[in-house]
C-alpha cells in the first residue's frame, strides 16, 4: 500500500501544494517545449493561453461531473449533450436579429449575452430534469444508457434540417444544421468589460502590451485574459460545489451514493435530492460548454461527439471521484498531458529531429520488425503518429490508473459532509459513556 | 461486561412528542393504544403468496415480537409496513392515519423508522456523518440554504445543535470512541449499534427492527437488548422481527406468530409457548 501513500502528504502545503506544483510543472514544461519549438514570445504566450483555456474547461467539467458521480453516484455519460444544449440555446437567445444579406444564415433573439448564458444553463438543467425523471426511477445503470442516448439525440437534432431554421416571435432563428452556427455577437470579453464600464481601460491595457508584443497584441491579450477568466469560473465552481458537498444536502447525496434505501428509510426523499443534484450539475455543464465554445466564434453539432464526455470522465478519474480538489487537479493533468501533450510532443520531436525519416505507412513500419527484428521503424512511426494515437494513450493511462491508483492522484480523499467540524463540541463534557466503551464485540 | 456500569440515561432519548401522542387520546380512542394497525395485508410475487391476509395491531409503548418459521412472510410484512413494497390488498394504519402505499421516506417522516436485517451502514461515510444524516427536517437539506452566504449561518447553527445530540446518542450507545471511523471499518456488532443509534436520531415514535440480533454475539446481544428495554421505558414502541424463539419469549410482552403469510396466533409468550399449532409450524409437523 505504500505506493498509494499520499503524494500530497509528501508535498509541502498538502493538496494545495500539489495543485500548485502540478500547474507550475505543466507551465514550465510547455515553456520548455516552446523554446524547443523555437517559439517567439508571442508564440509562448499563445501556447500558455491555450493551455490555461483547456485546464479551465476540463477542470470545470470534471467538477460538475464530480457532483453527479463523485457525490451522488449518478452515472452520467451524456455530458456533451448538456454542453450542446447550453451552447445552442445561448446562441439562439443572444445572436443578433436576422438581417437579410448578413453573414449569418440565421439570426437569434438579440438579447444580451448574459441572458443567453442563463437561458442556456436553464435549458441544460431542464433537459437534465426530463432525462432524470424517468431514468432515476429505474436501476442506476439505466441513467447511463439514457444519458448517452440523449446526448446523441441532441447532436442529431442540431444536425437535422428541420431545426436549421424556424421562426420565433417573427424572427428568423435556427440552429444551423450541419453547417453550424456563427456566434456573431459582441465578443464575450468586450461584453463583460463594457458591462462594468472598463472596456476603455482594457483597450488601454492592450495598447500598453505593445511593449511586449509589438504587432497586434489584442488576440494575445484576449487569450490570456480569457484563460484567467476561466480560472475564475473554476474557482466559482469549486466554491459552489464545496459548499454543496459540505452541507446537510451534500450529506444526503453521499448517503444516496452509498445506499439509497438507507437514506430513504431515514425519511429522505431521495428522488428529489437526486433530481436537484442532477439539474445543478447539468446547468454547470451547460455553462462550461458555453465558455468552451464562445471564443471559437462558431459551433457545429459534430463537436459534441461522445468522446468529449469520455475525456471528462478520464479527467475525473485521474483526479479521483468524490473530491473537488482532485477534480481540479484531474482536469489540469488531463488538459496538459493527455489532451494537449501528444501534439506538443510530436511537434517537438519533429522540430528537434527534422530528418527522422519515419516510415510513411504502417506496412513499412511493421515490415522490418517482422523480417529483421528491427523495431526502430515502428518506434519512429509510433512517435510520428502520437497525435492519432491520443485515444490509445488515454486508454493505457486509464488502465494503469485503475490498477495502481483507483482512487485517483490524490488517493482516498473524502471531504466531510457537514457545515461544521464534527468533533465533540467543547461545551460537552466527555462523560463516562465512552470510557468503558471498546468492548463491543 | 458493560452491564456492570449503567450508561448515562439522560434526556437523550426521551421522546419529544409524547404529548402529541397524548393528544390523540381525546380524539380517536384506538389510535392511542395501537399506533400500528395492519388489516388484511396481502402480497404475492408471481404465483407465490408471501403474505396472505395478515392482520394485527401493535400496542403503544410495547415491545412486540413478530416471529415465524423461515418463509412465513415476516420480512415481506415488514417491507409492506415500511413502504418498501406495496401491498396487493389490505391497509396499514399508523397513528390513526392510513399509510398504505406511501413511500418509505414518507412513512419514516411520520415517525416509524426501520432498521435492516443486514446492517446497512454507509461505509464511505464516518460514523459521525452517518449519525448527522438521520435527523429529520434539517434546514441545510435545502440546497439554496446550504450554499447562500448568510443563510448558511442558520444551517451552521442547526448543525451545532444536532452535533450535540449526535454525541449524546453516541455516548448512550457506547460508540463514541469510534465516532471518527469510516462506518465500513466497523465490526458487525458496532454496525448494529450504529444502525439503531441512527434510527433513533430520526425522532421516531416507533422502531421496527428487522432481525437486529442475527449474527450478533451473546455479549453484544445483551447490550442491544438493554438499550431496547431502556428506550421502551422512555416510551418508544418496538416491533421486533426475529426467528430466535427464545429471545422473543424472554423479552417481548406480546408475540405475533406468522405462518404461511397469515397470523397463526398471538398472545403473551406463555400463551405462545404452550400453543400446539406454533410448535407444529416450527417443527414442520403439518408437512
pLDDT, tens digit, 9 for 90 and up, residues A5-41:
455 566 666 777 888 888 899 999 999 999 988 888 9
Would the CB atoms of B5 and A432 count as touching at under 8 Å?
yes
Q: How far apart are the first and last CA of chain A?
A: 28
Q: Which of A290, A296, A112 is nearest to A222 (CA)?
A: A296
Question: Can you tell me the mean pLDDT for B113-120?
Answer: 86
Question: Can you tell me the mean pLDDT for B210-218?
Answer: 84
Whole-number mean pLDDT of chain B?
85
Q: How far apart are the first and last CA of chain B?
A: 44
Rounded Cα gap, residues A176 and A162, in angstroms: 10
pLDDT, tens digit, 9 for 90 and up, residues B3-16:
444 444 444 444 44
pLDDT at A109 over 80: yes
Q: What does DSSP assign to residue B205?
A: S
Which pLDDT band, with edges at 50, 70 and 90, does A117 fall under?
A: very high
Q: Which domains does chain B have, with CATH numbers?
A: 18-121+204-283 (3.40.50.300), 122-185 (no CATH)
Would the CB atoms of A267 and B126 count as touching at under 8 Å?
no
Rounded Cα gap, residues A9 and A267, in angstroms: 39
Nearest to A248 among B103, B140, B219 (CB): B140
* A214 φ, ψ (degrees, to nearest 5): -65, -40
Q: What is the ipTM of this complex?
A: 0.85
pLDDT higher at A163 or A395 = A395
Rounded Cα gap, residues B122 and B131, in angstroms: 10
**What 3-state class would DSSP assign to B10?**
coil
Would the CB atoms of B171 and A431 count as touching at under 8 Å?
yes
Rounded Cα gap, residues A225 and A117, in angstroms: 19
Rounded Cα gap, residues B151 and B146, in angstroms: 7
Length reported for chain A: 441
Would the CB atoms of A433 and B7 count as touching at under 8 Å?
yes
How many contacts does A have with B, using Cβ atoms within 8 A?
Answer: 175
Distances in whole angstroms, Cα of residue B260 to Cα of each of A86, A386, B50, B79: 57, 68, 7, 16
Would the CB atoms of A255 and B133 count as touching at under 8 Å?
yes
Q: Which domains does chain A have, with CATH numbers?
A: 8-339+388-418 (1.10.3470)
pLDDT at B225 over 70: yes
Rounded Cα gap, residues B189 and B208, in angstroms: 18
Would the CB atoms of A265 and B113 count as touching at under 8 Å?
yes
pLDDT, tens digit, 9 for 90 and up, residues A46-71:
999 999 999 999 999 999 999 999 99
Q: pLDDT value at position A244?
A: 95
Rounded Cα gap, residues B264 and A45, in angstroms: 83
Label residues A212-245 b or e (16+ Cβ within 10 Å = b). Answer: ebeeebeebbbbbbbbebbbebbeebbebbbbbb
Distances in whole angstroms, Cα of residue A15 to Cα of each of A20, A58, A64, A411, B260: 9, 19, 20, 11, 59
pLDDT, tens digit, 9 for 90 and up, residues A333-375:
999 999 998 888 888 888 888 777 777 778 788 888 888 878 8
Give the minimum alpha-carbon distance from B56 to chain A in angstroms, rounded to a whole number: 22
Nearest to A434 among B122, B171, B219 (CB): B171
Indicate the helix (H) or strand (E) that contains B275: none
Q: Which of A228, A226, A231 is nearest to A328 (CA)?
A: A231
Rounded Cα gap, residues B37 and B55, in angstroms: 8
Closest-CA residue of A relative to B81 is A265
Would the CB atoms of A266 and B108 count as touching at under 8 Å?
yes
* Residue percentage of chain A with pLDDT more than 90: 47
Give the minimum alpha-carbon distance from A433 to chain B in angstroms, rounded to a whole number: 5
* B226 φ, ψ (degrees, to nearest 5): -60, -45
Give the minimum alpha-carbon distance from A6 to chain B in angstroms, rounded to a whole number: 18
For residue A213, give the C-alpha cell.
508584443
Q: Which residues of B touch A427 (CB under 8 A)?
A: 164
Amino acid at each position: 500500500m505504500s505506493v498509494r501513500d499520499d503524494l500530497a502528504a509528501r508535498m509541502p502545503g498538502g493538496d494545495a501544494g500539489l495543485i500548485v506544483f502540478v500547474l507550475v510543472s505543466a507551465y514550465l514544461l510547455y515553456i520548455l517545449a516552446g523554446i524547443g519549438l523555437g517559439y517567439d514570445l508571442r508564440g509562448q504566450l499563445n501556447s500558455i493561453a491555450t493551455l490555461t483555456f483547456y485546464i479551465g474547461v476540463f477542470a470545470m467539467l470534471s467538477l460538475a461531473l464530480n457532483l453527479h458521480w463523485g457525490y451522488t453516484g449518478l452515472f452520467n455519460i451524456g455530458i456533451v449533450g448538456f454542453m450542446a444544449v447550453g451552447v445552442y440555446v445561448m446562441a439562439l437567445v443572444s445572436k443578433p436579429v436576422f438581417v437579410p444579406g448578413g453573414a449569418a444564415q440565421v439570426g437569434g433573439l438579440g438579447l444580451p449575452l448574459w441572458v443567453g448564458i442563463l437561458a442556456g444553463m436553464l435549458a441544460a438543467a431542464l433537459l437534465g430534469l426530463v432525462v432524470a425523471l424517468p431514468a432515476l426511477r429505474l436501476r442506476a445503470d439505466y441513467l447511463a444508457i439514457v444519458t448517452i442516448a440523449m446526448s446523441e439525440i441532441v447532436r442529431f437534432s442540431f444536425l437535422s434540417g428541420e431545426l436549421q431554421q424556424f421562426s420565433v416571435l417573427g424572427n428568423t432563428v435556427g440552429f444551423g444544421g450541419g453547417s453550424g452556427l456563427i456566434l456573431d455577437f459582441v465578443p464575450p470579453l468586450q461584453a463583460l468589460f463594457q458591462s462594468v464600464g472598463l472596456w476603455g481601460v482594457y483597450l488601454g491595457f492592450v495598447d500598453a502590451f505593445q511593449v511586449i508584443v509589438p504587432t497586434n497584441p489584442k488576440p494575445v491579450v484576449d487569450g490570456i485574459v480569457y484563460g484567467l477568466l476561466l480560472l475564475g469560473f473554476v474557482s466559482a465552481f469549486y466554491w459552489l460545489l464545496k459548499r454543496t458537498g459540505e452541507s446537510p444536502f451534500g450529506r444526503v447525496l453521499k448517503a444516496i451514493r452509498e445506499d439509497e434505501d438507507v437514506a430513504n428509510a431515514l425519511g429522505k426523499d431521495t428522488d428529489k435530492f437526486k433530481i436537484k443534484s442532477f439539474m445543478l450539475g447539468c446547468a454547470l455543464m451547460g455553462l462550461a460548454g458555453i465558455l468552451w465554445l464562445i471564443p471559437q466564434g462558431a459551433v457545429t453539432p459534430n463537436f459534441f461527439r461522445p468522446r468529449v464526455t469520455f475525456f471528462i470522465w478520464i479527467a475525473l478519474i485521474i483526479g479521483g471521484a468524490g473530491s473537488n480538489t482532485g477534480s481540479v487537479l484531474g482536469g489540469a493533468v488531463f488538459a496538459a498531458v493527455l489532451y494537449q501533450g501528444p501534439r506538443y510532443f510530436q511537434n517537438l520531436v519533429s522540430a528537434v529531429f527534422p530528418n527522422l525519416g519515419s516510415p510513411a505507412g504502417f506496412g513499412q513500419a511493421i515490415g522490418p520488425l517482422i523480417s529483421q527484428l528491427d523495431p526502430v521503424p515502428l518506434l519512429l512511426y509510433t512517435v510520428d503518429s502520437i497525435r492519432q494515437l491520443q485515444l490509445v494513450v488515454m486508454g493505457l493511462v486509464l488502465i494503469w490508473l485503475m490498477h495502481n491508483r483507483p482512487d485517483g492522484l490524490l488517493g482516498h480523499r473524502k471531504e466531510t459532509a457537514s457545515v461544521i467540524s464534527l468533533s465533540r463540541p467543547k461545551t460537552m463534557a466527555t462523560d463516562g459513556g465512552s470510557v468503558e466503551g471498546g468492548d463491543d464485540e | 461486561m458493560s452491564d456492570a456500569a449503567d450508561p448515562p440515561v439522560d434526556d437523550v432519548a426521551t421522546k419529544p412528542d409524547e404529548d402529541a401522542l397524548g393528544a390523540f387520546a381525546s380524539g380517536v380512542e384506538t389510535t392511542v393504544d395501537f399506533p400500528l394497525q395492519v388489516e388484511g395485508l396481502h402480497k404475492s410475487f408471481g404465483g407465490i403468496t408471501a403474505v396472505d391476509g395478515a392482520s394485527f395491531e401493535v400496542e403503544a409503548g410495547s415491545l412486540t415480537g413478530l416471529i415465524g418459521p423461515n418463509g412465513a412472510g415476516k420480512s415481506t410484512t415488514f417491507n409492506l409496513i415500511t413502504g418498501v413494497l406495496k401491498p396487493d390488498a389490505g391497509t396499514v394504519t399508523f397513528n390513526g392515519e392510513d399509510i398504505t402505499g406511501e413511500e418509505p421516506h414518507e412513512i419514516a417522516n411520520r415517525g416509524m423508522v426501520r432498521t435492516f436485517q443486514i446492517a446497512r451502514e454507509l461505509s464511505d461515510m464516518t460514523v459521525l456523518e452517518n449519525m448527522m444524516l438521520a435527523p429529520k427536517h434539517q434546514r441545510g437539506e435545502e440546497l439554496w440554504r446550504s450554499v447562500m452566504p448568510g443563510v448558511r449561518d442558520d444551517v451552521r447553527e442547526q448543525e451545532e445543535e444536532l452535533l450535540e445530540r449526535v454525541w449524546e446518542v453516541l455516548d448512550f450507545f457506547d460508540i463514541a470512541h469510534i465516532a471518527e471511523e469510516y462506518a465500513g471499518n466497523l465490526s458487525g456488532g458496532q454496525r448494529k449499534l450504529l444502525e439503531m443509534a441512527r434510527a433513533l436520531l430520526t425522532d421516531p415514535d416507533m422502531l421496527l427492527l428487522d432481525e437486529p440480533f442475527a449474527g450478533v454475539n451473546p455479549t453484544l446481544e445483551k447490550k442491544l437488548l438493554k438499550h431496547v428495554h431502556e428506550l421502551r421505558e422512555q416510551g418508544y414502541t418496538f416491533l421486533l422481527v426475529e426467528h430466535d424463539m427464545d429471545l422473543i419469549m424472554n423479552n417481548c410482552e406480546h408475540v405475533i406468530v406468522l405462518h404461511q403469510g397469515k397470523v397463526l396466533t398471538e398472545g403473551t409468550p406463555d400463551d405462545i409457548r404452550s400453543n400446539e399449532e406454533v410448535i407444529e409450524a416450527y417443527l414442520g409437523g403439518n408437512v
